[in-house]
Amino acid sequence: MNGQVGIVDRYLDLFDKNIGKIMDSSSPYINSLREPAYQTFRRMGIPDKKNENYKFADLALFFDFDYKTRLVPGKSDIEEAKNFQCGVADLETQGMILVNGYYPYADKLKQLPDGVWTGSFREASSQFGSLFEEHYGKYANTESDGLVHLNTAMATDGIFTYVPDGTVCEKPIQIVNIVQSDEDIFNQHRNLIVLGKNVQMTMIICDHTLSPRKFLTNAVTEVVVGENSIFNIIRVQNEHNYSGKITHTFINQEKNSFASSNNIILHGGLVWNNTYHYLVGEGAEAKSNGLYLIDKFQHVGNYVSIDHFVPNCTSNQLFKGVIDEMATGVFNGRIYVHPDAQKTAAFQRNNNILLTDDAKVFTKPHLEIYADDVKCSHGATVGQPDNDIMFYLRSRGIDQREAKLMLMFGFAHEVIQEIGVKALRERLDDLVMQRLRGELSRCANCVVKCY
C-alpha cells in the first residue's frame, strides 16, 4: 500500500461502518462507482510527500485524527446565503448554502428564471440520471490522488448545476460552504456542474467555518464546459485555522471554451487546492489563478494541472502569495502538452513575498512537452518587499507599516484584477486589504458571528 500507512485505516473504517447508510441515500449509478473507488483509495492511500502532487504537503496533521462523520444532513440555524455576507456583500448572486456538505433546503431542485437548474446533488442524481451517467466520475478519476477516490466512494450530497445550451446567467451562482458542528467532523461533498454550448456562467464558492472545532473537508467538483461556453469559478477560502480543506476541481473544456479557476486563500489551517483543466476541444483557453495571504501556522498549497490534449489551446497560470510568520505556501504547477497538441501556448508564473525568516515557500514548475510546435514558459520568484517601492512610498510621507500594506495590496491585486466580475473584484480588493491588515477574523457586516 502506498501513502500514509495507518492513517488510511481510519478512513477505510469509516467506509466499512457506514457504506450501508451511504448506499441507502444515493442513486444506483453513483453507488455503482463506490466499491471500485474504495479499492483504488485502499491501494493509493492518503497522499504523502512521495506523491508528486503533494510533494511539499503535510496532510498528516489533519488526517491523522479521529473525526466523526455526518451521514445525514445536520441541523443549521442558517438558512439564507444572503445573510452570510462576509464574502461578497453588495454583489447580487443566486445564493445557496451547503451545511457540512449537505443541501439543507426543502425544495431540493429548482429551475431559476434564466432556465438554470440548481440544487441538491443527491436529488439531481436521480432526476438527471442520464446527465450523471454521461459525466459523473468521468473527470475526477485521476490516478495520482487517492483522496479523489475516497470522495467518490463516500460522498452523498453537494451542489448540482445544469446550464442548458445558449443560457447567459446574469447573476453569478454563489455557494456558501458552511462547516458547523459541536463535534470534530470529517466532511465530503461532491459538486457536478454541467454547462451546455454557448453558455456563460460564473460560480463563487465561499468556504467558512462557524464553530470552534477541528474540521476536515475533502471536496470534489466536476465541471463540464461545453462548446463556445465561458465559465469562471472563484473560490474564497476563509475557514478558521483548526480547519483543513482539500479541494479537487476538474474542469473539462470543449471546443472554443474559456474557463478560469481562481482560488483566493485567506484563512484556514490546511488548505490544499488541486485544480485540473482538461483541454479536450480545439481553441479552448484555460486560466488558473490563485492568491494566498497566509500567516501563523497556516499550511497552504495549490496544485494545478493543465492537460493540453488537442492543438491550438492556450493556458495561463498566475499564482501569488504573501507568507507571514511561520506559514508555509506551496505552488506546484504542471503543464502537460500531449503529442497531438501542436500550437499550444502555455504559461505559468508564481511570485511570492516572504515577510519573516520562518515563513516558507516551495514552488515547483513541472512541464512535460511531447509536441514540437509549442510556446511554453514558466517563472517563479521568492523575495522580500521591494526596497525601492518601500522608499518611494515612504518618501511621500507614508509610514513603513502602511507602505508595506500598499505594496502587498498592489502585489495581490494583479490576481484579483484577472477576475471577470467587477463588483466581485472590488469586494475582493476590500477583503484582501482587511486580510493584510489582520482585520478579517470577524466581519462587522455579517449577521453570523464567525469563530
Partner 1 sequence: MILKINNLHAGIGEKTILKGINLEVRTGEVHAIMGPNGSGKSTLASVLAGRETVTVTEGEIFYNGKNLLEMSPEERSKEGLFLGFQYPIEIPGVSMVAFMKAAVNEHRKYRGLEPLSASDFLKLMREKKELVGIDSKLANRSVNEGFSGGEKKKNEIFQMAMLEPKLSILDETDSGLDIDALRIVANGVNKLKRPDSSSIVITHYQRLLDYIVPDIVHVLYDGRIVKTSGKELALELEEKGYNWIQKEVNQN
Q: Check residue 400 for interaction with partner 1 (CB under 8 A).
A: yes
How many other CB atoms are there within 10 angstroms of residue 212's CB atom? Answer: 12
Q: Nearer Cβ to partner 1, position 261 or 351?
A: 351
Q: Which of 259, 159, 252 lies closest to 200, judged by CA? A: 259
Q: Residue 183 or residue 399: which is nearer to partner 1 going by CB?
A: 399
Interface residue with partner 1 among 411, 419, 427, 428 (CB under 8 A) is 411
Among 406, 423, 446, 448, binds partner 1 (CB under 8 A): 406
**Of 142, 141, 137, 138, residue with least CA distance to 51:** 142
Which region among 211-219, 292-300, 334-342, 388-396 touches partner 1 (by CB under 8 A)?
388-396
Residues comprising the chain, all counted: 451
Q: Judged by CB under 8 A, which stretch of 69-77, 118-126, 181-189, 406-414 contacts partner 1?
A: 406-414
**Strand ranges (E), 213-355:** 215-225, 230-238, 243-253, 258-267, 270-279, 285-294, 299-308, 314-323, 328-337, 344-354
Binding residue for partner 1 (CB under 8 A) from 90, 368, 402, 439? 402
CB-based contact 288:315 (threshold 8 Å): yes
Among 293, 407, 431, 440, binds partner 1 (CB under 8 A): 407
Give the span between the Cα atoms of 320 and 412, in whole angstroms.
Answer: 7
Q: Does 409 bind partner 1 (CB under 8 A)?
A: yes
Q: Which of 55, 364, 366, 413 binds partner 1 (CB under 8 A)?
A: 413
Nearer to partner 1, 251 or 407 (CB): 407
- Between 370 and 391, whose beta carbon lies closer to partner 1? 391
Q: Does 80 bind partner 1 (CB under 8 A)?
A: no
- The residues near 191 (Cβ < 8 Å, ≥ 6 apart) are 121, 158, 159, 160, 161, 175, 219, 220, 221, 222
Dist. CA 300–CA 57, nearest whole Å: 8
Cell reading at 274:
488541486
Smaller CB separation from partner 1, 98 or 393: 393
Near partner 1 in 417-436, by CB under 8 A? 417
Stretch near partner 1 under the rule CB under 8 A, chosen from 40-48, 158-166, 228-236, 412-420: 412-420
Q: Residues 43, 325, 391, 437: which binds partner 1 (CB under 8 A)?
A: 391
What character string, x for contact with partner 1 (CB under 8 A) and - otherwise, covers 279-308? ------------------------------
Judged by CB under 8 A, the residue of 66, 372, 383, 396 near partner 1 is: 396
∠ CA 442-443-444, nearest 5°, is: 115
What minimum distance in Å lies between the beta carbon of 240 and partner 1? 28
Stretch binding partner 1 (CB under 8 A), from 49-57, 73-81, 94-102, 382-390: 382-390
449: cell is: 458571528
Number of residues that bind partner 1 (CB under 8 A): 24
Residue closer to partner 1 by CB (options 96, 428) is 428
Give the residue, chosen from 373, 388, 444, 445, that forms a contact with partner 1 under the rule CB under 8 A: 388
Determine the interface stretch with partner 1 among 137-145, 326-334, 371-379, 404-412 (rule: CB under 8 A): 404-412
List of residues 6+ apart from 431 with CB closer than 8 A: 87, 236, 264, 266, 440
Short-list 398, 433, 308, 318, CA closest to 365: 318
CA distance 333 to 367: 8
The residue within the footprint of partner 1, chosen from 143, 397, 438, 445 (CB under 8 A), is 397
Answer for the pair 186, 216: CB distance below 8 angstroms, yes or no: yes
In sequence order, the β-bridge partners of residue 255 are none
Nearest CA to 159 out of 239, 240, 227, 220 is that of 220
Residue 143: Cβ-neighbour burial (10 angstroms; 0-12, 13-18, 19+): exposed
Q: Which three cell numbers, joined as nine digits, stand for 297?
A: 501556522
Nearer to partner 1, 208 or 320 (CB): 320
Query: 34: which DSSP letter?
Result: H
* Residue ranges in contact with partner 1 by CB under 8 A: 387-389, 391-400, 402-403, 406-407, 409-414, 417
